[in-house]
A and B are shown apart, each in its own frame.
Chain A
Amino acid sequence: MFYWRWLRNLAEGSKTTGYPFSEDPAVVSRGGSAVVHEPLAAAGPIRRAMAIRHIDGGSCNGCESELQMLSSPDYDFSRVGFSYTPSPRHADILVVTGVITQNMADIIADVFEGMPRPKRVVALGQCALSGHVFRAAPGVLGSLEGIVPVTVEIAGCPPTPGDILKGLLLAVDAAPALRKEGAV
């Protein structure tokens, strides 16, 4: 029954934004992202598969909601080669959200350890960068320092899908491509 709908969607044309390679007023940017550690040259650039493993280190599920929107037709991150993967064995990028609680720290380190090289870590959202308003809570570490080496930080509470997309592209050494398009 759903084939009709599928065909109609095809006929209606793409809903996907061109952001971040071209400007789109509907896609907002609020925080921005920054490379904090250059990816290790020895590890080499990530070119083909860009599988993402996400871990919730104590979030309010806002970052998760926005990460899910990345696979929506409006952002469709698979057009630039990203996908989610269940197993760290297949992952290239580790995306960590939330305040980083004591309980999750070891698990995050385990998952990073299980990923093959080359690999990147993206700290997503204000909580993962600094603990945000929860910094003082017991059991909250507030940052990934000492747990895993962060490649890219993406700010925002929560970061918008546009910001996340741009940050992920930075994490896989796509900065030159972004600069050429005038997006950064």
Chain B
Amino acid sequence: MNAGLWAQLWIGVALAGPLVAGLLGWVGSRVQREFLRGVLVLGTLALFWMGGQILSGHMTAGALTLPAPFPRLVFAPLPLAGLWSSLSGLLLLATGLLIWRHERAANLLWALVPMAASIGLFLLAGDGLTLLLGLEAVSLTSYLGLISSRRSRKIWNAGWVLLILSEMGGLLLILAIGLIVIHHGPGLPWNDSFPAMARDAARISLGGRLVIMILVLLAFGVKAGLFPVMIWMPLAEPEAPGPIAGIFSGIFTALAILGMMAVERVVLPGMAWGVVLFVLGTVGAVIAALYSVVSRHVKQILAYSTLEILGLVFAALGIWAMAAHVAPLSLVSTLAWDAAMILLIMHAGSKFVLFALTEHTESLARTVDGLGGLARRFPSLSVVAAVGVATLAAIPPLGGFVGEWLLLEAILKPLGTTESLRNVHLLFVFGGIFLAMATALGVATYIRWFGYVFLGPERRPNSAAELPPSIDRHQIAGYALALLPVLLAGPGVPWLIPWLNVQGQRDFLNNAQKVIAPLFVHPQAVPLFVHIGGTLVKAPGAPGTIFYPQGFSVGDPYVLLWMGLALALAVALVRAFWRRGAAVRHVRPWTGGTREYSPQTSFSAEGFVHPLRLAFQAFYGLQRERWSRSGVRFYRHTIIYRLEQQGYLPVLRAGQWVAEKIRKTQSGSTPLYLAYLMGATVLALALALWHPGA
């Protein structure tokens, strides 16, 4: 099957699925729901199949000829489309399982079916027009996913911001493509495939290419959480249903990056492009990490953490672009490429899982301080969450560790010995300071999130009515499926990284040096590393392999892991043999004699971050107020969201002001218009008299 047929299939599913479901509504809502469920399952299976076809190299480009005056549509798989097609299928299937018994399953299915189709269509974009159509399809289905399940003012607001920013992105993409294809010469340029566009773009100056890429970056940055066009995410993701927010965060971000890379491959924008990516990525990661650590809302924390991880991805791509440009044979670009891809893959799985499991917490409370002690009520859920959080917090051997490790290696590894290379490396290290800070803040964020949601005492006594339903077998299967990418990017890296490097070499002309090697295959290499102080870091998953070329590193990251395991083992042995299984004496916790020990007397999540809030108070614009009224001491602190309040809001206000003025000038009375006319005439006369020669 070629790409054109696949595209027709996806368009058919997107149109026919909801249409038939609408007709089945006459028969009964149950039939309708089961039909949609069936279409979704078939769609995910189709995504798997398509992914397999692309991965095995059997997918050929194809075209869809439309009747005049419409242009011909060209379809061909995007770079890495095989991998992401399979991953999208996986997560959509997991979503289907998670909402199997969901009370609003039908509402969600209405959005999920077109969503699956739009993902399939997007991944097959073969020219500028289909890329634009794919982006529009994804934008529309994400809007549908946001508004389909609930109605509230907040959702409408978030939906509007999403739509406006998405459409702005669409316009920028049209502009960018237009700027490329005007160099085509005579003829109808819209149906140029990407290779043809690459020939067009080669005629553009370097500056022009950079402008085009920045337009594309902003267009896809909206979806991918790029600073500063990501503001819809912290608004929309907390409001969207858990699994949908997980797909926004895990899949759509990655798709947008694929789209951006597809254009990048066409335009080849050079060194400055890498700097832009690196700077925006670093700034975005730090800002998002700072906001995510202080957020109160369970899902908003996750939304900001998405932006943090995507900031890391953009920074890694920036390093990749720069290093590939200045030192094409250096390992740095390969390390950064691997880092970016692995971060995306692990983030898709872990963030999807975390967002999805907020479905169980929402009915209890929406803030971390309102929750607590869920581990006792949902032990299996807490295990899932622990894996997700450990992944994002970069605990070896899971995916987050591998991604962040490779990123920091790329930063630390010297590019070369010439002065210009050293200057570029200095830029990496300078940015690396902030990236390291962002990842450290990220760890605090995830500890706080997991600790206050799952551990500790239950904050509020809940009546039986508002208890979330227990977890059924479908959901366990869904979570297990969704955690597969975490393993793929973690213990699976000895197999994943070589494959990624081959892909990078094929699609982006990366050098495909070895990042992972069997430990003792190159015995002559080992003394060299030991000589320069390098520690041989074992690659997870495959015993006897190491991350091969090291710049330098500060220590073995596995030491802590092994220490923790050894301690746990020691405790287990003591309990098993010394105490011979005798029960440990349980006594109440020591509270200093205070009897009414309650959740309100245990450390709060707000208190946890208060020192950080004070340390960064200039950034947050922290304001603390205290006042007493009738014996009650009130305390309040507020922080400023600078980008929203000091960036976008003034622009919005200025726009409103201008609109208001224009409206006023147009709503005047007849004498006023006559007065305008009079004044203009006098002015023209005066000018004419003053310049009689003209």
A and B touch in the complex (CB under 8 A): yes
Interface centre among B588, B593, B595 (most CB of A within 10 A): B593
Contact partner of A88 among B585, B590, B595, CB < 8 A? Answer: B590
A100 → B minimal CB distance (Å): 14
For residue A114, CB closer than 8 A to chain B, the reply is: yes
Residues in A with CB closer than 8 Å to B632 are none
Question: Which single residue of chain B is at the shortest CB-CB distance from A110?
Answer: B593
Interface centre among A55, A106, A114 (most CB of B within 10 A): A114
Question: Which single residue of chain B is at the shortest CB-CB distance from A107?
Answer: B593
Question: Which single residue of chain A is at the shortest CB-CB distance from B590?
Answer: A87
B587 → A minimal CB distance (Å): 5
Q: Which chain A residues in 96-116 approach chain B with CB under 8 Å? A: 106-107, 110-111, 113-114, 116
Complex: A111 Cα to B585 Cα, angstroms: 15
Q: Which chain A residues in 116-132 approach chain B with CB under 8 Å? A: 116
Asked whether B588 lies within 8 Å of A114 as measured between CB atoms, the reply is yes
Asked whether B590 lies within 8 Å of A114 as measured between CB atoms, the reply is yes
Q: Which chain B residues in 557-597 approach chain A with CB under 8 Å? A: 585, 587-588, 590, 593, 595
Residues in A with CB closer than 8 Å to B593 are 55, 107, 110-111
Asked whether A106 lies within 8 Å of B590 as measured between CB atoms, the reply is no
Residues in B with CB closer than 8 Å to A111 are 593
Residues in A with CB closer than 8 Å to B595 are 106-107, 110
Classify the interface of chain A: helix, strand, loop or mixed: helix
For residue A135, CB closer than 8 A to chain B, the reply is: no
Residues in B with CB closer than 8 Å to A88 are 590
Residues in A with CB closer than 8 Å to B590 are 87-89, 114
Complex: A78 Cα to B34 Cα, angstroms: 77
Q: List 16 A-B contacts (CB under 8 A).
A: A55-B593, A87-B590, A88-B590, A89-B590, A106-B595, A107-B593, A107-B595, A110-B588, A110-B593, A110-B595, A111-B593, A113-B587, A114-B587, A114-B588, A114-B590, A116-B585
Residues in B with CB closer than 8 Å to A110 are 588, 593, 595
Complex: A27 Cα to B595 Cα, angstroms: 40
Q: Which chain B residues in 69-95 approach chain A with CB under 8 Å? A: none
A44 → B minimal CB distance (Å): 16
A107 → B minimal CB distance (Å): 4
Question: Which single residue of chain A is at the shortest CB-CB distance from B591?
Answer: A110
A51 → B minimal CB distance (Å): 14
A72 → B minimal CB distance (Å): 26
Residues in B with CB closer than 8 Å to A116 are 585
| A-B pairs with lowest CB-CB distance, top 6 | A107-B593, A114-B587, A87-B590, A114-B590, A88-B590, A89-B590
Q: Count B interface residues, CB 8 Å.
A: 6
Complex: A64 Cα to B529 Cα, angstroms: 64
Complex: A30 Cα to B592 Cα, angstroms: 33
Complex: A88 Cα to B585 Cα, angstroms: 14
A73 → B minimal CB distance (Å): 29
B586 → A minimal CB distance (Å): 11
B455 → A minimal CB distance (Å): 21
Complex: A138 Cα to B370 Cα, angstroms: 43
Residues in B with CB closer than 8 Å to A55 are 593
A106 → B minimal CB distance (Å): 7
B568 → A minimal CB distance (Å): 22
A167 → B minimal CB distance (Å): 24
Residues in B with CB closer than 8 Å to A114 are 587-588, 590
Residues in A with CB closer than 8 Å to B585 are 116
Complex: A67 Cα to B593 Cα, angstroms: 20
Question: Which single residue of chain B is at the shortest CB-CB distance from A114?
Answer: B587
Q: Which chain A residues in 73-105 approach chain B with CB under 8 Å? A: 87-89
B578 → A minimal CB distance (Å): 15
Other than the given A87-B590, A113-B587, A114-B588, 12 more pairs (CB < 8 A) read A55-B593, A89-B590, A106-B595, A107-B593, A107-B595, A110-B588, A110-B593, A110-B595, A111-B593, A114-B587, A114-B590, A116-B585
Question: Which single residue of chain A is at the shortest CB-CB distance from B594?
Answer: A107
Complex: A87 Cα to B585 Cα, angstroms: 16
Q: Which chain B residues in 586-620 approach chain A with CB under 8 Å? A: 587-588, 590, 593, 595
B692 → A minimal CB distance (Å): 93
B475 → A minimal CB distance (Å): 40
Complex: A106 Cα to B588 Cα, angstroms: 14
A87 → B minimal CB distance (Å): 5
Complex: A7 Cα to B352 Cα, angstroms: 65
Complex: A55 Cα to B593 Cα, angstroms: 10
B188 → A minimal CB distance (Å): 82
Complex: A118 Cα to B162 Cα, angstroms: 67
Complex: A55 Cα to B592 Cα, angstroms: 10
Residues in B with CB closer than 8 Å to A113 are 587
A85 → B minimal CB distance (Å): 11
Residues in A with CB closer than 8 Å to B588 are 110, 114
A108 → B minimal CB distance (Å): 9
A110 → B minimal CB distance (Å): 7
A156 → B minimal CB distance (Å): 26
Complex: A87 Cα to B589 Cα, angstroms: 10
Complex: A87 Cα to B595 Cα, angstroms: 15
Complex: A89 Cα to B587 Cα, angstroms: 10
Complex: A116 Cα to B585 Cα, angstroms: 9
Complex: A180 Cα to B587 Cα, angstroms: 40
Complex: A60 Cα to B335 Cα, angstroms: 72
Question: Which single residue of chain B is at the shortest CB-CB distance from A116?
Answer: B585
Residues in A with CB closer than 8 Å to B587 are 113-114
Complex: A68 Cα to B437 Cα, angstroms: 47
Question: Which single residue of chain B is at the shortest CB-CB distance from A106?
Answer: B595
Report B145-158 CB contacts with A as 1/0, cut-off 8 Å. Answer: 00000000000000
Residues in B with CB closer than 8 Å to A89 are 590
Complex: A111 Cα to B589 Cα, angstroms: 11
Complex: A113 Cα to B588 Cα, angstroms: 9
B619 → A minimal CB distance (Å): 38
Interface centre among A55, A107, A110, A116 (most CB of B within 10 A): A110
Residues in B with CB closer than 8 Å to A87 are 590
Question: Which single residue of chain A is at the shortest CB-CB distance from B592?
Answer: A86
Complex: A107 Cα to B587 Cα, angstroms: 14
Complex: A110 Cα to B590 Cα, angstroms: 9
Complex: A25 Cα to B45 Cα, angstroms: 95
Q: Which chain B residues in 256-294 approach chain A with CB under 8 Å? A: none
Complex: A110 Cα to B585 Cα, angstroms: 14
Complex: A116 Cα to B587 Cα, angstroms: 10
B595 → A minimal CB distance (Å): 7
A82 → B minimal CB distance (Å): 21
Complex: A110 Cα to B587 Cα, angstroms: 9
Complex: A114 Cα to B595 Cα, angstroms: 13
Question: Which single residue of chain B is at the shortest CB-CB distance from A115?
Answer: B587
Complex: A86 Cα to B585 Cα, angstroms: 20
B593 → A minimal CB distance (Å): 4
B421 → A minimal CB distance (Å): 54
Question: Which single residue of chain A is at the shortest CB-CB distance from B589?
Answer: A114
Complex: A110 Cα to B592 Cα, angstroms: 10
Complex: A87 Cα to B590 Cα, angstroms: 7
Complex: A16 Cα to B659 Cα, angstroms: 89
A79 → B minimal CB distance (Å): 28
Interface centre among B585, B590, B595 (most CB of A within 10 A): B590
A158 → B minimal CB distance (Å): 22
Complex: A107 Cα to B597 Cα, angstroms: 13
Complex: A107 Cα to B592 Cα, angstroms: 9
